[in-house]
Structure formats: structure tokens, C-alpha cells
Amino acid sequence: MKLAIVAITSGGVQLARHLGAKLPEARVFLPERLRRGDDDDCFDKPLAVWLPGLFREVEQLICIMATGIVVRILGRELKGKDQDPAVVVMDEAGQFAISLLSGHLGGANDLARRIAEASGATPVITTATDVNSLPAWDQAARDVGLMVEPVANLKNLNRLLLEGGRIGLVDQRRRIADKFSKVPGVKLYDNFAAATRSSAEGLVFVTHRFLPHLQNQPEMLALRPRDLVVGIGCNRNTSAGEIELAVRNKLKQSFLAFASIACVASIDAKQDEAGLVEFAENNSLPLKFYSAEELNRVEVPSPVSLHAQKAVGAKGVCEPAALLASGMGEMLIRKQKVGNLTIAVTEIQS
């Protein structure tokens, strides 16, 4: 569920209905005792029992109730800013829209501003970079669809922004460079080598390249574009675990980041392949499938696969599927056989 609005008082329900009309992707939830018709989404369990389940299902949550209620109920549900949904709290009079959880990565700050515009409330934003009129690395990443890795290092790089510390930024495709061009202390470098040789206290790399030991370097942050397509062919009943291990190892060997995978592609004969579907679901990756006819129309660097041709009618699977899904992008990893799989990786054509 994209967005849920929860109200628990009659005044709050009126505000919730108003916001629900302004935010078409939202579902409004209210207590059973305040039901007005059969179309209402209502809950009959105590809020403290019911709300955590909703919290785990949604991407964004608006709670029209006291902030203390939300904190006490959801406090034990929190996992991390990269996993928790955005939460905004409003009073039933609609005076304030408070960004409470996942302000940047989850989008709660933007949601609070959006709610304020829709209702006339005052948005309450407390993240330090926002109140100091500075771009934050996680907000800049979210704005253009970059993944943050590792999330634990965000606090160090955002702290350097606030303190005017020296930060080296490598962003060869200028995905976020313009947002930081006038920020004191941030300097743009052409490549990794130049940045790492500099006197920078912190380093930010916008790249799909694998960076060794990133987890052990608190002064370094990677912002990952989702621009890799993994084409996969596999034998019947290949497990999700074998697929994941093979993909992770093959990407690492080629210095490519798993976090930059945009989607997985294969032949339509594999739409019911349980291990492939499970692998994609476990990593929240979309799956794209193509017919043998579509795959056979694509020119690929590797020789025809007699095995694939006999089994599914395609001259090849992983390479043409990856090429099609990437818009005929650059082939970064040619067909590699790993156990029960064949793997190829392309970069999405931009």
C-alpha cells in the first residue's frame, strides 16, 4: 500500500476524509465506531494492536492523533531509516503536519509539505540539513532514485555538510552534482583516484561500481543508480539461494554493485520458475520476461546455445534478455555459466 491515513476521533476523521480526497493514492482508515457507510475502511481492534500491522504494510503513513500515541505504539516496530515507512503526524485541527520518521529516505519531509499544501497546515521539519537550508545526501539520492550504501554512513557525511567539512564528490553523470555545487566544503572530482588522493574528510561516489570494504569506511558513502539489468537463464528447479549467490559473486568479480540492479530479465518459459521468482521477490526486483521469438531477434556476442535452443526454442537467454530489458544498453558482463545458471549484465541505456 502506498499511503494510509489513520484517524481516531470524529474531528480527525473529517480531516482524514479531506486529505483522502486530495491525495488519490491514499486509503483512509477509521475506527469501526465512526463508520458512516459500507465503503469505509474500518478497524475494530485496539489501535495499539492494529496500527503496527498497517505500519509494516505501507510505504507512507499519516496519523491524525497525538504524537505521543504514535511514538508509544510504533517505537518497538522501528528497524532503520532505510526500512521504515515515512510517518507524518497531524493534530485533528489540522494546524501542524509533523515529519516524524524517515524524513529523507522515506519521504516524510516531502509528505509533510504536501499535506500542508493540501490542508493549510504548517509543516514541521526538524532534520538538521533542512533547517539549515542544505541539501542532504539521502534526500538528494531519493530525488533522483539513487540507493544509499551503507545507510549507517549517512550521519557522518551529513554531519560534514553541516560543519562545512571537506567532502569529495565523484558524480561523472552529474546526477546530483548541481545540488551541491555551491555547498561550502563540497568539491567535485573527475574520478575516484583524484578524490581519494585529495585532502577530503569524506567521500561520496555516485556509481554502480563495487567499492571494497565500504562497510568499514565510515567517511565514505556510495549512491547507487539503479542502472544494471541481470539477464538469467537457469535449469529447472534452481534454488533462489543458488541464484543469489551466483549473481552476487559474479557482480563482485566484475566490480559491479548488487544495489544497482534495476531488474532481472529472462525468457517467458521461466515465469513459473520458483527460485527465480523468489530471488526477485527477496530483493524487491522486478522481473521482465521475453518470448523466444523476441530473444532470437537480438544479436548477441556469444555463440548460439544449443541447450537453450532445444529446451526453450531460444538461441540464447541471458544476453538477449538483458539487452532487451536495458534498451539495448552496453554489455558489461558477457554470458557466464555458474552452476545451474547463465548470467549476463547490461547497463540501462540512458
Query: pTM score, two decimals?
Result: 0.87
Q: How do 341-347 and 331-338 pair as beta strands?
A: antiparallel
What pLDDT shows up at residue 223?
98
List pLDDT tens digits, range 39-91.
889 999 999 999 999 999 999 999 999 999 999 999 999 999 889 999 999 99
The answer to whether residue 308 scores a pLDDT higher than 90 is no
The single-letter DSSP state of residue 89 is E
List pLDDT tens digits, range 199-240.
999 999 999 999 989 989 999 999 999 999 999 999 999 999
Give mean pLDDT, residues 233-251: 96
CATH 3.40.50.11220: does it fit domain 3-126? Answer: yes
Percent of the chain with pLDDT over 90: 92
Q: Is the peptide bond before 286 cis (omega within 30 degrees of 0)?
A: no
What pLDDT shows up at residue 197?
96
Domain boundaries, the chain: 3-126, 137-225, 228-347
CB atoms within 10 A of CB 160: 20
**Cα–Cα distance, 177 to 187 (Å, whole number):** 9
The answer to whether residue 173 scores a pLDDT higher than 90 is yes
CA angle (221 as vertex; 219, 226 as ends), nearest 5:
175
- Within 8 A by CB and 6+ apart from 89, the residues are 62, 63, 64, 65, 66, 67, 70, 97, 98, 100
CATH class belonging to 228-347: alpha beta
What pLDDT shows up at residue 130?
93
C-beta separation of 176 from 146 below 8 A? yes
- Within 8 A by CB and 6+ apart from 301, the residues are 319, 331, 334, 335
